[in-house]
Each structure stands twice: as structure tokens, then as C-alpha cells.
Amino acid sequence: MPERPKAPRGTFDILPADAESRARLHELAAGAFGAAGYGRIETPAFEQTDLFARAVGEATDIVTKEMFSFHDQGGRELTLRPEGTAPICRAYVEHGMHKLPQPVKLWYSGAYFRHERPQAGRFRQFHQIGVEAIGTNDPMADAETIILLDQLLRSFEVPGVTLRVGSLGTVSSRAAYREELRDYLRAHQAELSPEVRERIEQNPLRAFDSDHDQTRAVMAQAPQMIDRLDDADAEHLAAVERLLRESGVEFERDGSLVRGLDYYTRTVFEFTSDALGAQSALGGGGRYDGLIDELGGPPTAAVGWAAGVERILLAVAAEPPEPTADVYVAADGDAERERAFALVTELRRAGMVAHLDLARRSIKGQMKQADRAGARHAVLIEADGASVRDMSSGEQTGLDLAHAVEVLSS
Ligand code: AMP
């Protein structure tokens, strides 16, 4: 027997039973984001590798370890997108969106790829929904985007949600802080995990994300950027917090929140759920005022977030909904089956959910299928006419097929 092909490690199939709650999440997202003036954007599944190296940061985990990169037939270096913000900023610059009225508000949804160790809630192909507000440094934009994610999680009834908010200052104020943090880490080298120790020079902030116990104890005492903000950055954070409070969004201030991407400036935030295990992050983001500039566009302030679709679904752990249908049309014999086919087509064109048998079951078997499909009515087509049965009462009456749509939709 030849070996059966399997989906690659860390990937999964979305089967019809799982698809419905995803669709509902997308509907809620599209409704909420559209109402706030965000337009949908879609970018390619792969980009030039250089985009992520420049935007996400050479020393980040994503760029050093997690990218699915390959050469195409023309020798170009390409990467399956590991995140959505860099491609959208690339598109903003490429399409001259800075000439549009600012800010440009966008939302997206799609598949992302990271070569991570697969575990519950962590995959190599996963899905994100995200928003970006590009071309504004107003703290209202930070608050607006955060409120949108809060609203999405509330409307999807995600349990046990916590929001943490912090600030990473600006590139210049962070430079002095990074030096201070490096000195602190060097003084505690012996207690740090080898991985964190190796990154002291390149990426000292990453130490805050370590799950190594001793490193965590060191980091609990470490100096934090949030205490080193200049006046303008501190005022920005205070304004975002004020707006959240006034909007009834609960949050905690967290100076240890650094996030794994280099491009963040000022506001950073993350939503977690205690209904999830170790991978508790539902989504997060922040401000990235230097990124568009970095990618060759004009200096442009921006803020956004991405949320993990699978994480949201896992946290809710919703049972797939019971199927429902308007009509099941049952028939036996070739001529009757063809009349059933014509009726189902007519009903579907009229907007009804209508099913028929495609496996030549007996009438009894078809009635069982009608029940399983959650049909409100079953129509039985016979040589000398048709009848309709109300599936909940069992009441059966004759049906004039010329008026089937009218009768069945009432
Ligand atoms: P990040 O861009 O790393 O901040 O990711 C944003 C959100 O995407 C996270 O909060 C997770 O919910 C989700 N996410 C990130 N990486 C993965 C992954 N490998 N598998 C599943 N979800 C992920």
C-alpha cells in the first residue's frame, strides 16, 4: 500500500463543521470594522524576504527562526508572510496611499505562516484578523483600534479576557533604555537562560518574554521602559488610557509588555484569555510610527493589531451549531427524482435551504436524512402527486408543485 499523504506538521484542515463559527467571527469583524470606517485589504501570501527582515527586525524570533523562505525559479528570495503589518505598509507605500485623506483605515483576514513548535493553539499555518490605522499619531486611533478588538471579543463572547497596555517609547528614548537594560542583564548573566544571554547585545528586550523561571525572577526586578518615557510619550499613554477608561474598557498597565516585533513605538497592548493554556494570547499590537519611513515611504505614524482566529475559537470552544434546512425533497424512481431535482433548484433560487438525496436511499432512509439535516418540511414526490410533511408535528398534506415556493416559504 502506498503511504497516505498527510497535511504538513503544524497545519490543519478546516472541515465544514468548523467553518461555521469561523464565518460568524468574520461576519462580526466585517460588521464592526466597516462601521468604524475600516476598508478590507488583501495582500499576497508571500513577499520578498527582505520586507520582513527590514520591518519585523533582523534579531527577532520571527526573522531568525520562524520564516518559511524559499527561492523561486528566478532565484528571488521569497517568504510566506509571517505577519500582516509589514505587507500592508508595503502596499501603503507602493500604492501612494499617503496621498489619500489620512488616516487610511484598513482591516484584513488571512493565513499566516511561522515555523514554530506546534502545540495547542500554536500552528505553522494559522489565521489572523487585524486592523491598521495608518497616517495618524492621535491617541484616539490607538484607543479606537483597541476598542475594536475588545468589541470583537465581547460580541463573540470570548471568556476570561484580560487587556494589558504598555508603552515602548520612541526609538531614541529606547536606545538609552536598551543600554541600561543590557547593563542590568550583564550583571545577572549567570541567572539567565542561555538563549536570553546570547541575545543581550542584539535584542535585550526579548528577555521579558522568557518562560525560564530564573530569567523571569531577574526580569521582575528589571528596569522598565514605561518608567523612562519622555513627557510626550507619557502624555500619549495617559491619553490612550483615559479614552479606554471612558469607553468602559478594562485594562491593566504592564511595563513588561514588549511584544516580539521590533517595529513598535509608544503604545503596545495584548489581549489574553484564561480559557486558553500556555498560548494565552488572543491578539495584540501597537503603534509603529517608524515603519512606513523604514520601508521608503514618507514619515507616517500608524497603529494596529492582529488577533489569532484559532485562539479565539479555542477560547470559546463552541459546539458546532445544529444543522437547519427549510426543505428536504424525497423521491424514489428516475422520473420522480428528476422532478425532485427541479424542485430543489427552484427552492434554492428562491433563497431557501433545500436538500435532496444523491445516494439513492430508500424513502425511509431519505426521511432519516431529512431529520438529520434539521429540515422544517419534507416534500415527498410520487408518480401521482406530491405531499408535504411538517417535520415537527408530523402533519402531512397534499402539495401542488406549481405553488411549492409559496407554500414552503410561508
Ligand atoms: P503576533 O503577530 O505574534 O502578535 O500574533 C498575533 C496573534 O496571532 C497572537 O496573539 C495569536 O493569537 C496569534 N498567533 C501568533 N502566532 C500563532 C501561531 N503560530 N499559531 C496560532 N496563532 C498564532
| Lookup result for grid cell 493565513 | 111
Tens digit of pLDDT per residue, the chain (410 long)? Answer: 789 999 999 999 999 888 989 999 999 999 999 999 999 999 999 999 999 999 998 888 899 899 999 999 999 999 999 999 999 999 999 999 999 999 999 999 999 999 999 999 999 999 999 999 999 999 999 999 999 999 999 999 999 999 999 999 998 888 999 999 999 999 999 999 999 999 899 889 989 999 899 999 999 999 999 999 999 999 999 999 999 999 999 999 999 998 877 789 999 999 999 999 888 999 999 999 999 999 999 999 999 999 999 999 999 986 777 889 999 999 999 999 999 999 999 999 999 999 999 999 999 999 999 999 999 999 999 999 999 999 999 999 999 999 999 999 88
- Compute the distance between CA of residue 358 and CA of residue 190 in angstroms, rounded to an integer: 69
- Compute the distance between CA of residue 89 and CA of residue 263 in angstroms, rounded to an integer: 12
pLDDT attached to residue 203: 87
pLDDT attached to residue 322: 86
pLDDT attached to residue 210: 92
- Compute the distance between CA of residue 154 and CA of residue 148 in angstroms, rounded to an integer: 10
The closest residue, in CA terms, to atom 15 on ligand 1 is 308
Q: Is 275 exposed, middle or buried, given 0-12, 13-18 or 19+ CB atoms closer than 10 A?
A: middle
Mutation to probe ligand 1, out of 80, 149, 311 (largest number of atoms < 8 A from CB): 311
**Closest C-alpha to 150, from 178, 131, 122, 170:** 131
Show Cβ contacts of residue 296 under 8 Å, excluding neighbours closer than 6 positions: 93
pLDDT attached to residue 317: 86
Q: Which domains does the chain have, with CATH numbers?
A: 16-169+229-316 (3.30.930.10), 325-408 (3.40.50.800)
The number of the ligand 1 atom at minimal distance from the alpha carbon of 285 is 4
The number of the ligand 1 atom at minimal distance from the alpha carbon of 282 is 12
**Closest C-alpha to 283, from 81, 121, 57, 105:** 121
- Compute the distance between CA of residue 398 and CA of residue 377 in angstroms, rounded to an integer: 13
pLDDT attached to residue 262: 75
Mutation to probe ligand 1, out of 63, 126, 161, 303 (largest number of atoms < 8 A from CB): 126
- Compute the distance between CA of residue 62 and CA of residue 48 in angstroms, rounded to an integer: 15
pLDDT attached to residue 59: 81
Show Cβ contacts of residue 321 under 8 Å, excluding neighbours closer than 6 positions: 20, 21
pLDDT attached to residue 319: 73
Q: What is the CB < 6 Å shell around ligand 1?
A: 83, 114, 116, 121-123, 126, 128, 260, 281-284, 306-308, 310-311
User: 295 CA to middle of ligand 1, Å?
Assistant: 23
User: 307 CA to middle of ligand 1, Å?
Assistant: 7
Considering the entire predicted model, what is its pTM? 0.91
pLDDT attached to residue 212: 93
Question: What single DSSP character describes residue 323?
Answer: P
Query: Cα torsion at 172, 177, 180, 182 (round to 10°)?
Result: -90
Half-sphere exposure of 140 (CA within 13 A, CB side): 5
**Closest C-alpha to 149, from 134, 163, 133, 135:** 163
**Count of residues in the chain:** 410
The closest residue, in CA terms, to atom 4 on ligand 1 is 284
The number of the ligand 1 atom at minimal distance from the alpha carbon of 83 is 2
Show Cβ contacts of residue 187 under 8 Å, excluding neighbours closer than 6 positions: none
The closest residue, in CA terms, to atom 13 on ligand 1 is 308
Set of cell numbers at residue 170:
520612541
pLDDT attached to residue 393: 96
